[in-house]
Amino acid sequence: MHKDTQQSPLAMAYAEALLQLANESNIAASVGEELGGLRQIIETDKLFAQLLADPAISTEERGQLLHRVFDGRASALMSHFLGLVNVKGRLVLLPAIAGAYDDLLDQQQGIVEVDATVAQGLGDDQLEAVRRKVGEVLKREAVVHQHVDPAIIGGLVLRVQDQLIDGSVRSQLAAMRRQLMDARPV
């Protein structure tokens, strides 16, 4: 799941402003894709990430670099946004801004992302059944990301935003153990 459980208030403020501008131009989804691509570059290309964060590089030099790299490859809105974030000295926040933007866009589109942890991989039909059931309960379109962890023994652990629903055999066994320990004669 690409979501950050705790967003920086500053990153959220930038993301909200960018989403509002993108909505006015009806390009919210494409701006989200651009931000996601930028986030991926920053997270995989350490040299580029260092260039964005290096205090020895002036704002003007960094702005020229961004101009050379992104003009013609990014939307005008994204180019202007990157220039503003550079001038404000907040380029280091780009991955967090991208995460916050994704969260806001999903919320706007009625999408909820769900992490499903299972002991053995679910087939397509089973995964679709989980997606449908979670979507019905939350009254939103669910996007399910499957994770396999044999340590849960069986059952299902769901994480929806900041809520954890633990229906694993491991947690049921632990609960039964606690009940037995509490009921034992002293």
**Predicted confidence (pLDDT) at residue 171 exceeds the cutoff of 80:** yes
Work out the average pLDDT over 102-122.
Answer: 90
Mean pLDDT of 74-102: 94
Chain position carrying tokens 């449908």: 132
**Cα→Cα distances 141→41, 84, 135, 178, Å:** 28, 34, 5, 37
Tell me where in the chain the CATH 3.40.30 domain(s) lie: 111-183
- Stronger pLDDT, 19 or 7, i.e. the higher one: 19
Range in 11-15, 58-62, 84-88, 181-185 the model is least confident about: 181-185
pLDDT for position 173: 84
Residue intervals of the chain classified under CATH 1.10.520.20 are 9-107
- Residue 79: what residue type? S
Q: Is the pLDDT of residue 5 over 70?
A: no
Contacts with 36 (C-beta within 8 Å, 6 or more apart), sequence order: 2, 98, 102
Of all residues in the chain, the percent with pLDDT exceeding 90 is 56
Answer yes or no: is pLDDT of 51 > 80.
yes
pLDDT at 6: 57
Helix, strand or coil, per DSSP, at residue 1: coil
User: For residues 49 and 42, is the Cβ–Cβ distance under 8 A?
Assistant: yes
CATH 1.10.520.20 fits 9-107, yes or no: yes
Computed over every residue of the chain, the mean pLDDT equals: 89
Residue 108 has pLDDT above 60, yes or no: yes
Question: What contacts 102, CB < 8 A, 6 or more positions away?
Answer: 2, 3, 32, 35, 36
Banded model confidence at residue 2, pLDDT cuts 50, 70, 90: very low
Residue range 163-175: mean pLDDT, rounded: 84
Fold of 111-183: Glutaredoxin (3.40.30)
